[in-house]
Structure 1
Amino acid sequence: MMNRLIFAAAFTGLLFVSACQADEESELHFEDSELEQAVADALDTDLPIDSELAGDVTELETDLQINSLEGIAQLHALDELHIDSSQIDSYEPLLSLDNLQVVSLGDLYFTDDTERNEETERVLEVLEDREVELDFRTRLSISDRDGDSKGLFYEVTHNEQQVYLFGSIHVGDDHLYPIREEVMDAFYNADSLSVELDINQIDEMALSQQMMNTGMLSEDETLSDFITDDMIEDVTQYLSQLMIPEPMITQFEPWFLTMLLNDYAQMQSDYTSEGGIDQYFINLAESDDLPIMELESAEDQISAIAGAPMDEQIDGLQGALDTMDIYEEELTQMMNLWRSGNREIFEQLRAYDSEYGSQMMNERDQQMTEVIESYLNSDSGDHYFVVVGALHLAGENSIPYLLEDKGYDVELIE
């Protein structure tokens, strides 16, 4: 009798477990309760969600703060996803959605976690290859560094010649200083300073006029030929603070308006070009009577920026408008990144540039590398200290990459 009871209990238990499993399999399950609630809201149903309803979800839009997308593969018919208020741990689950056509992600962060950054870039590239329409705003979230600023710093040698390369950030404040001892020792032992441009020697009025002339649309064109009235209204809202009237604004190309917007945003922040690394070393060189040489000309830089295709100019202008409200915070994060000297993140940011942005950066780096080569191939025995924007010193086709490829000894000084 006991055995029968045991067997009965065993089989009854198994049947009970099986029944529970069947019930669970008929429900949709998500790792993130906010995602589960968003799906329930989209279906206008209560939790738990019947799995038979999964195919009814073709569009999901929510203001809930979702952290995990695990389980979203169950929504096999989903073609639009709008999660602008979310901070997602991993975007990998999006690749399981074969019908996805539109994705809006809100703010997408590059962080200290370089592996996560690489995964995010890979997912976005796959979605772009699938021709998914993507909408997001790239941001930085970088931990501040304790102690002196590190920066990106290289030593390049050839025979008796020595060149030090130090990456700069062009605006800043006192938080950038002091700079680590290895960098400062190299500077004080150098025989000259080379910079992209000697900003102390620039005629600002003449340069502004030159940029304005270059940035004018042709007489038979107006800004409304290229961008929407809403964009023009947004641009005018900011630039009117600089006493630039709308009739004048509509005569300029988008790239020039982007520069004006950046100038306005910087003026509203606590950061200045006077606080930047370029200005710092130029001032030190002048006080020590150290020769200052230029790697580029103002004309070179203007030509590079103005040469962008119209579609990239428009994207750049929209990007500037989209980030006006976070400009100062992004500069703070850029300074944190610069202070960290994390080459991997700089490499990831460089690789993330637009097609024309990458082309322009590569061409400028090629030109500056040729100048630096002339230092290395001279027989003066001089030590050269070179300051260029930090992105010029990270990634494929950067200055250190090109020099090493040409056979020079290049060492990253950690």
Structure 2
Amino acid sequence: MKNWKRMLLSLTISAGLLTSAVPAMAAPQQPGVTVNNQAIKYSAGAPVLDEGTTLVPLKSTLQAMDIKLQNAAGDTIYAVVDGKTITLKSKLKVINGVTYAPIRVLGDATGYEVRWDAKTRTVILQSKTGDGGTQTSSVNAGRGFMWEVEANGNTVYLVGSMHIADDSFYPLRDEYEEAFAEADYLGVEIDISKAAGEDQQKLIMDLGMYQDGTTLKDHVSAETYAKLGEILKEAGLEPNALDAFKPWVAESTLSSLKAAKAGYEASAGIDLYFIQKAVERKIPVVELESYESQLSMFNDFSQELQEKNLRAALDNFEVLDQSVGLMAEMWKTGNEEQLLDLTNNFSTDAEYVKAMLIDRNIGMADKIDGYLKNGKKEEYFVVVGAAHYLGEHGILKLLEDKGYKVVRK
């Protein structure tokens, strides 16, 4: 398992690559929906992913939930639940003549627990009480990582994310939901719900593909290229499937393929979970970084470092799914000692550490410092990769050096 920590760092530290589908090896299937273990069969329309939010045909979904739709207009839904008329505020969208709404809004507002099963790409609605099931308590929910900083009448909650996850991460602890419910802003590394946008995809192609007529084979050793071809073939792809792309794209693609096979996907990640909820609550999402800055960082790695990272992914490919499972357990138990060990020991390469951790942490800590100083009595809920927080160069230390008191929640 030599160098496996180098591979796993991207799961807790950098959102952009894992959610950008580079290159798009296969289009993901559209999500399904179950209500109390019964799959909904849609006759008109089907669930779709729209900027990270699962939208479902409104009328047929409510009918499957045993809820009567009275009317839907603008951003307001009127429905009858257990004989009582309720009003839901939600973003509505008409697709091919069918009215769609976010599934999480419908479920949360009508008394269902809403979960995501990454392995089957299914949204699961389960009754919290009654015949459909029992209330699911967050007492046994994952501890995760969250800290609080207060200054000048402002509050910033700092949440450590795993950018890929599965349904076992949910529901989150009540402390997360309560803090987010009061937030005026959601802060993230980048808004990954826009990953499929035309501008983001063009940027990936411009930076991640060779533009001079050469291919990956011309830039890595024969041994590395042969090993990559073997693994791609075992995965059911052509051995030259990544020839047009640079080593850093190939590395990310391998990690994402293996993690997805193990059931961990960006669609269930902690940051995307809160981005979806921010869209539903209609609160601003502010970015501490940008797609361009993250992708440019990887693209600016030296050729030697890019091949070293790719080689680490190849050498550890068979054990990556096991390693992701260990990291998931670390997050759920909220084990700071293990997180600090990962952060301190993931790489001995000075170029890698400076780009991935030191420089980015300084930039994000400065942004958070600005939130705390604005004097507007606002609350920020900031979600970035967990490995950014701890250690000598971590965000928490940088904030403490600026005079702030940081409290684990």
TM-score, shorter chain, exceeding 0.5? yes
Q: Does the alignment pair 1:372 with 2:350?
A: no
Alignment of structure 1 residues 184-333 onto 2, 5 Å = 184-217=177-210, 219=212, 222-239=215-232, 246=240, 249-333=242-326
Contact 1:265 1:327 in 2 (8 A): yes
Contact 1:242 1:264 in 2 (8 A): no
Aligned to 2:399: 403
What is the distance in 2 between the residues matched to 1:332 and 1:285? 28
What is the distance in 2 between the residues matched to 1:227 and 1:205? 30
Moved more, 220-229 or 257-266: 220-229
Equivalent residue in structure 2 for 1:356, among 348, 351, 355? 351
CA RMSD of aligned residues (A): 2.4
Equivalent residue in structure 2 for 1:341, among 326, 334, 337? 334
User: 1:399: how far off?
Assistant: 1.1
Q: Does the alignment pair 1:390 with 2:386?
A: yes
The residue type paired with residue 326 of structure 1 is V
User: 1:239: how far off?
Assistant: 3.8
> Structure 1 167/285 Cα, relative in aligned 2: closer, same or farther at 3 Å?
same
What is the distance in 1 between the residues matched to 2:275 and 2:263? 21
> Structure 1 223/166 Cα, relative in aligned 2: closer, same or farther at 3 Å?
same
Aligned to 1:156: 149
TM-score, length of structure 1 as denominator length? 0.61
The residue type paired with residue 326 of structure 2 is Q
What is the distance in 2 between the residues matched to 1:236 and 1:287? 43
> Structure 1 107/200 Cα, relative in aligned 2: closer, same or farther at 3 Å?
closer
Secondary structure of the residue aligned to 2:156 is strand
Q: Relative contact order, CA 8 A, sep 6+: which one is greater?
A: 2
User: 1:215: how far off?
Assistant: 2.4
Secondary structure of the residue aligned to 1:249 is coil
> Structure 1 334/375 Cα, relative in aligned 2: closer, same or farther at 3 Å?
same
Aligned to 1:177: 170
Secondary structure of the residue aligned to 2:183 is coil
Secondary structure of the residue aligned to 1:316 is helix
> Structure 1 260/205 Cα, relative in aligned 2: closer, same or farther at 3 Å?
farther
Q: In the comparison of the two structures, how many residue pairs are matched?
A: 272
What is the distance in 2 between the residues matched to 1:242 and 1:255? 21
> Structure 1 204/109 Cα, relative in aligned 2: closer, same or farther at 3 Å?
closer
Give ranges in structure 1 of 5+ residues lacking alignment: 1-105, 111-145
Which has the greater radius of gyration? 1
The residue type paired with residue 232 of structure 1 is Y
Secondary structure of the residue aligned to 1:311 is helix
User: 1:280: how far off?
Assistant: 0.9
Aligned to 2:118: none
Contact 2:146 2:159 in 1 (8 A): yes
The residue type paired with residue 155 of structure 1 is E
User: 1:170: how far off?
Assistant: 0.5
User: 1:296: how far off?
Assistant: 0.9
Contact 1:346 1:395 in 2 (8 A): no
What is the distance in 1 between the residues matched to 2:365 and 2:174? 26
What is the distance in 1 between the residues matched to 2:389 and 2:176? 15
TM-score, length of structure 2 as denominator length? 0.62
What is the distance in 2 between the residues matched to 1:385 and 1:108? 33
Contact 1:239 1:260 in 2 (8 A): no
What is the distance in 2 between the residues matched to 1:345 and 1:225? 39
User: 1:182: how far off?
Assistant: 2.1
The residue type paired with residue 206 of structure 2 is N
Aligned to 1:381: 377
What is the distance in 1 between the residues matched to 2:2 and 2:254? 21
The residue type paired with residue 376 of structure 1 is L
User: 1:276: how far off?
Assistant: 0.9
What is the distance in 2 between the residues matched to 1:235 and 1:174? 31
Moved more, 249-258 or 378-387: 249-258
What is the distance in 1 between the residues matched to 2:169 and 2:371? 29
What is the distance in 2 between the residues matched to 1:251 and 1:180? 44
User: 1:175: how far off?
Assistant: 0.8
Which structure is higher in helix share?
1
Deviations 1:53-108 (A, max 9, x none): xxxxxxxxxxxxxxxxxxxxxxxxxxxxxxxxxxxxxxxxxxxxxxxxxxxxx669
> Structure 1 194/242 Cα, relative in aligned 2: closer, same or farther at 3 Å?
farther
What is the distance in 2 between the residues matched to 1:109 and 1:260? 16
> Structure 1 190/316 Cα, relative in aligned 2: closer, same or farther at 3 Å?
same
